[in-house]
Amino acid sequence: MKGRLPQALVNTILRGEEPRNRIARWSRWFPARPAVADDRFQGPGDPYPRHWREFPQPWPGPGPADPADPAVRSQLRDGLAGLPARWRDVVRQRDIEGLAPAEVSERLGITAAQQRAMLNRGRALLRERLARLLAPGRDR
């Protein structure tokens, strides 16, 4: 067995993936899907293709969506806790701690592209969960 590559590494190389690319593995568990339905945008025959047909309605102001409200804070905490660990780390460091992208990449030992992908996917998943919590009667 000495001198042979582990089968997982061989499979990764055969698929053409970067061995350190954790995003490729995560993307199989969370298939790509748009954050907003395509019918919300103007089509090719409309005056402004790919622009909003109708702008999204804002979330309610003070009251049920007030971040100072303990119930909303609890929902935010639960939403963050539901993210995969690496996505949660990226979202927390970028959006809560306010760190620069390069600093987050360096701290977590990931590339800039991986950091962007994790941040975007984490934000999309969190946004989807919070939209259901904050406006349950609305289809987003």
69-107 pLDDT, tens digit per residue, is 777 778 788 888 888 999 999 999 998 899 999 999 999
pLDDT in tens, 29-60: 555 666 677 888 888 999 888 888 888 776 55
In three-state secondary structure terms, 41 is strand
Phi, psi of 41 (to 5 degrees): -115, 155
pLDDT in tens, 67-79: 667 777 787 888 8
For residue 29, give the amino acid letter: W
pTM as predicted = 0.52
- Whole-number Å distance between alpha carbons of 127 and 75: 12
- Encoded tokens for 112: 């800039």
For residue 99, give the amino acid letter: L
Output the pLDDT for position 140. 39
Place of tokens 């660990």: 85
Contacts of 49 (CB under 8 A, 6+ apart): 42, 43
